Structure 1
Amino acid sequence: MSKIQVNKLHTLTGHNDCIYALTEGTDPRFFYTGAGDGMVVEWDLDQPDDGKLIAKLPHSVYALEVDKERNLLFIGHNFEGIHVIDLNENKEIWSIKFTDQAIFDIKIFGSEAFIGTGDGILTIIDIPNQSLKKRVKLSSKSIRVMSISPNNLHLALGLSDNSIKVLDLRNDYQPIANLSGHEKSVFGLTYSPDEKTLVSGSRDARLKFWNVSDYALDETIVAHMYAINYLSFKEDGKYMVSCSMDKSIKVWDVEERKLLKVIDKARNAGHGTSINKVLWSSYSGQVVSVSDDRTISIWQIEEN
């Protein structure tokens, strides 16, 4: 089994409240964070100490997503809607006010933006026309997280009703599967890079591995002490990181479904409070994590 070496490279500060949102730029050297202070900041992994303020909004930002085809940053503005920033010009070019709910996740595929909100509604935005295309009511509980399988054209959604719903992007968002098994809200959800596995993480502290061919449950792992907040695969699909309310990041061997490394305050001078998002950057093997402690950590994670 591989030995994993962890080196903390940077601790970044500047946000004045819990950091909830994290996404990679069109150029993966850059990443974006959003927080309870309404600030959205661009960071450069080559010069990480110099964050650049992109937007300042009156309400918390829980969701960010970059439209890499058009180099646009979509900001989920709680209780309002979305703001769209042209990253070439660094200015807002349009916005749509369509909800009085919290926006928990945004995903972009082709010419559509998918937005999951606290009232269990999936809102689909037509990006070129800057217009609301469709609303799909999935639950009375929040849509917390989404993941897209581009080759299968599947959209998976994790909800606070403890379920995972899979919709068909080929066929007008019709349901393909309704996965049950988690005992609490599903906060973490991601397709593996080869799109053969869907991994979910929940407030029940369990990881579940689902076989995408039939969405059968392959394995359940008691993975953390408290809620699993987010999951991110390394680009090659060999490893995955999970982050938790238990203040730890865990590195997993995906094929073996084995824990390889725990990153926390005691061992690695990690975060002191809940870790809300984690991103395995496709830029030089670094992992970015954001926390309720208002800091961003950058980690080098390598095989020995």
Structure 2
Amino acid sequence: MSITRESLWAALPSTSKGVPLHISYDPRSDRLVYASNKSIHLRSLSKPSSSTQFTGHIAATSVAKFSPSGYYVASGDISGTVKVFDSSSTTEDPEIVKGNFAIISGRINDLAWDSDSKRIIAVGDGKERYGHCFTFDSGNSVGEIAGHSAQINAVDIRSVRPFRAATVADDSAMVWLTGPPFRFAKSVRGEHTNFATDVKFAVDGAYVSSVGMDRKIVVYDGREGDVLAKVDGAHTGGILGVAAGKKEDGTPVFATASTDGRVKLWTYKDMSIEELYTWDVVTGEHLVGVTFTAATNLVAVSLSGDLYYLSTGETTPTRTIYGHQKAITALKVASDGKTLYTGSYDGRLVEWDISTGNSTVVAGSGHRNLVTSIVEASGKIYTAGWDDTVKAVSGTEFTSLSLSAPSQPRGVAVAGDYLVLATEDAVYTHTTELTSVATYKCNSITSVCASDSFVAIGAQDGSVTLLTVPDLKPTSANIPASRASVSALAFSPRIDDQGRLLLAVGDSTGKIAVVNANDGSIVTTRWAFHTARVTSIEWRADGKYAVTGGLDTNIFVYSVDKPAKNVKTLGAHKDGVNGVAWAGDDKVVSIGADACVKWWNVSL
């Protein structure tokens, strides 16, 4: 008996409006690395459904960079901590942390490795200092980062000797550093007239480019830091990212990403900056970062975290990777077994192809905030959100079918041919065309589930009420009350061999009781291995096993016949499991606060 992880569909990069995002690419392993929530993701470029998650940070992560050797990753978070870990770790291997250093007393905005993969410069928004240079293994100081009067947004180190480093900051200056040990050499001011957001050396070290919210590009000499050329109005919006690469013939080039939704390719030649190519990446949304992958191929990141693959010869993205940035709060495996729907804290609904991991954002008038439930009835997908609406989905689009809830929905369930909507103080049945059928008033509702014949509602006081469908009349069954607030409910999908309809009742302390819904008798109370709130329960199709997820980050598979035994995986999702579901008799899918979708093989 075991449960092992099969695959991980990674979260998208965490972004903020007007803040540059720094991502990194390793050509040896063909992987991107970026920060998302409290994790770092190392994601395959050619197979995005394959990735590795590093969860060693306690605070929200802000940046991650591969070392030039590709063997290590340095990552920073909002507390000012930098961790260096082995990039070769797989999903099965333990995370190998090489170093853990407190660098500044604030957010780490950017990191840069030297070409020897020995030294790191970390910069950000500190109180005593805005950056520091140190060795990757021991943390010994190898210089001082000075010269700025505001938070440093970006740093880069020249890849050829003599080493140089450049930093740009909110004070609009570019500071030039020589070393190692790295020391202040000079400050270039007056070129940028607004926040300077990013800086990159050319791959051959001949020049360095800086960009800013003033829509300007400035190119400096790569050895001395003198201004060589500049372009005003390079984009119609602020420029948040710059990346360095080279063409097939070895000519150095650089790319810029802007809030105007475009990426442009440039080269420096004969004391001037020449525009080579423009990609219209996305309309109406900011681009916050860009990196080269191979030759003139790039990946750009939008404010929503979507990854856009770009290639010369195509003016639009050749591929787009969608997913979630925020905690995933609801999921549903479609009845065809081929599609997964997930909804997140920000209201985004994503459709996934289970066989490939490819994803598409459901288009149309969706939810404005947290998606609480996703269910399927009569071939349609229905969703409920904290914007007090229930919506219908067909394929990859929201339909015009919608229902305004009287108050904030606690959840939606399917009872035969009816939809059951639970709010804080009432339960409603509707047809699949969202026509009202019946209403039942009840205080402090926390959860809901339904079978073909019954609706179960859990309350803050631990009580569980059974109602008939569709008229919502209370039954005679007396379900024993939990000692804590009811947090999850689930009916078994079938009547067992003893004629019982089983109901699993999970509470906020991690305890789960299984009762017979026909008469309220207790079947077992030994499903009690969660140490925090039970967030999700789902029965396997045969009704003999149930998978559960909890705020304690753990997943358990319990048995009705052997209630004292279980199969578990600990630390399944950073900061908690929000939902679990069966996708066959031996496969489970889970979602969590880390915005990831994870697939598990279960052997019973």
Is TM > 0.5 for Structure 1 vs Structure 2? yes
Contact 2:331 2:374 in 1 (8 A): yes
**Partner residue in 1 for 2:400:** 93
State the alpha-carbon separation in 2 of the partners of residues 91 and 238 from structure 1: 35
**Partner residue in 2 for 1:188:** 488
**Partner residue in 2 for 1:272:** 574
Residues 229-278 of structure 1: CA deviation (Å, up to 9, x unaligned): 1111222223211111110001112211133222123xxxx211110110
**Partner residue in 1 for 2:388:** 80
1:106 matched to 2:412? The reply is yes
**Partner residue in 1 for 2:462:** 162
Contact 2:389 2:404 in 1 (8 A): yes
Show the 5 A alignment for 1:129-208.
Answer: 130-139=434-443, 141-148=444-451, 150=452, 153-169=453-469, 172-176=471-475, 177-195=477-495, 196=500, 197-208=502-513
**Partner residue in 1 for 2:601:** 300
User: 157-166 or 241-250, which moves further after superposition?
Assistant: 157-166
Contact 1:32 1:64 in 2 (8 A): yes
Residues 264-297 of structure 1: CA deviation (Å, up to 9, x unaligned): 23xxxx2111101100123x63211111111111
Contact 1:278 1:288 in 2 (8 A): yes
| C-alpha deviation, 1:105, in angstroms | 1.5
Q: Greater relative contact order (Cα 8 A, min sep 6): structure 1 or 2?
A: 1
| C-alpha deviation, 1:100, in angstroms | 3.3
Return the TM-score normalized by structure 2: 0.45
| C-alpha deviation, 1:86, in angstroms | 2.1
**Partner residue in 1 for 2:99:** none
**Partner residue in 2 for 1:223:** 529
| C-alpha deviation, 1:178, in angstroms | 4.5
C-alpha RMSD over aligned residues: 1.9
1:288 to 589, 594, 598: 589
State the alpha-carbon separation in 2 of the partners of residues 100 and 124 from structure 1: 15
Show the 5 A alignment for 1:120-131.
Answer: 120-128=425-433, 130-131=434-435
User: 195-204 or 239-248, which moves further after superposition?
Assistant: 195-204
| C-alpha deviation, 1:5, in angstroms | 4.5
| C-alpha deviation, 1:193, in angstroms | 3.0
1:42 to 329, 346, 351: 351
Q: What is the identity, as a one-letter code, of the residue corresponding to 1:100?
A: S
SS in 2 for 1:224: coil
Q: Which has the higher strand share?
A: 1
**Partner residue in 1 for 2:516:** 211
How many residues are aligned here? 284
Residues 2-43 of structure 1: CA deviation (Å, up to 9, x unaligned): x23423322332212111111121312211111111101111
| C-alpha deviation, 1:155, in angstroms | 1.5
Contact 1:187 1:229 in 2 (8 A): yes
Residues 126-176 of structure 1: CA deviation (Å, up to 9, x unaligned): 224x4223321122x12423131x2xx122122223111101226x22111
Contact 1:182 1:204 in 2 (8 A): no
State the alpha-carbon separation in 2 of the partners of residues 137 and 78 from structure 1: 20
1:63 matched to 2:376? The reply is no
Residues 51-103 of structure 1: CA deviation (Å, up to 9, x unaligned): 11114421211111111x2x21111021322111223x7341311213232x2
Q: What is the identity, as a one-letter code, of the residue corresponding to 2:438?
A: K
Return the TM-score normalized by structure 1: 0.86
SS in 2 for 1:63: strand
**Partner residue in 1 for 2:569:** 263
State the alpha-carbon separation in 2 of the partners of residues 57 and 193 from structure 1: 29
Q: Which runs of 5+ in 1 are unaligned?
A: none
Contact 1:144 1:160 in 2 (8 A): no
Contact 1:142 1:161 in 2 (8 A): no
Q: What is the identity, as a one-letter code, of the residue corresponding to 2:354?
A: L
Change in 2 beyond 3 A, CA 1:226/1:272: same
2:2 to 1, 4, 8: 4
SS in 2 for 1:26: coil
Contact 2:3 2:569 in 1 (8 A): no
- The percent of aligned pairs where both chains have the same amino acid is 21
Q: Which runs of 5+ in 2 are unaligned?
A: 12-322
1:254 matched to 2:254? The reply is no
Residues 159-218 of structure 1: CA deviation (Å, up to 9, x unaligned): 223111101226x22111342331222122112233322111110211101123311123
State the alpha-carbon separation in 1 of the partners of residues 373 and 518 from structure 2: 29
State the alpha-carbon separation in 1 of the partners of residues 416 and 521 from structure 2: 28
State the alpha-carbon separation in 2 of the partners of residues 200 and 110 from structure 1: 21
Larger CA Rg, structure 1 vs 2: 2
SS in 2 for 1:174: coil
